[in-house]
Amino acid sequence: MTMRFEDPAAEFVLAAERVFGESPRVLDGSRALLVGDVKLQLEAGEKELWLIETHGPLEHRLAMVEVQEDIDVALRRAKEKLSGQL
């Protein structure tokens, strides 16, 4: 008998690299990534993608993007939100 383990959040790392064009730093077992000074964190059963600005130990939640079917879509929306705030 072969057992198979799936972790949908593992695709999060690869999708973030595709969307942002750089290798993110993995935090918290692939549920949170650091892209530049912004932490992207999956919460609420991987249905919410939070954009969190980091300055040393301080964090400020900038926005939340709902994750529906495709993590790539959510990450593209997150990137648009970040572009609008810079």
Q: Of 1-5, 8-12, 30-34, give the lowest mean pLDDT range.
A: 1-5
Amino acid at 16: A
Residue 26 pLDDT: 87
Residue-wise pLDDT for 42-68, tens only, equals 987 778 899 999 887 788 899 999 998
Residue 86 pLDDT: 52
Residue-wise pLDDT for 67-82, tens only, equals 987 889 999 999 999 8
Give the integer Cα–Cα distance in Å for 19 and 13: 10
Helix locations, the chain, DSSP H: 10-20, 71-85
Give the integer Cα–Cα distance in Å for 85 and 29: 28
